[in-house]
Amino acid sequence: QVQLVESGGGSAQAGGSLRLNCTSSRTIPTNYCMGWFRQGQDKEYEGVAAILSGGGITYYSDSVKDRFTISRDHDKNILTLQMNSLKPDDTAVYYCATDLRICGFTWLRNNKPGMGSWGNGTPVTISA
């Protein structure tokens, strides 16, 4: 399995922005799906955004659509999540994940730790 490392988490006020990055221990094939997931305290895992490792179509949950942007630089092995207009409900640990299954909304809904490769997460705290 590939090792994934998230960075960029931290604290911000509501309405602010944060940028998360995910780097991998080796090149991830272009046909792999990559994405961001989050888990708030006492909440289920939630798929936030997804994109193919080679770039292209992006997928977002309704809760973050039009506020978050996922992007992928395949050559630099970096996956990024730009988070704008942050809300207290965005407070969670954010995880980067990847695997070979079909990229899309189903992957965002169904992917869980233990399926494919996951990072250890980076915490994000948004204050009102």
Mean pLDDT by runs of 10 across the 128 residues of the chain is: 94 98 94 97 96 95 98 94 98 97 94 94 98
* Residue 88 in tokens: 């207290």
Long-range CB contact pairs, 115-120, < 8 A, 24+? 116/1, 117/1, 117/2, 117/3, 117/4, 118/4, 118/37, 119/3, 119/4, 119/5, 119/6, 119/22, 119/95, 120/5, 120/6, 120/95
pLDDT at 1: 79
* Residue 100 in tokens: 């070979």
- Tell me: the pLDDT tens digits for 67-86? 999 999 999 999 999 999 99
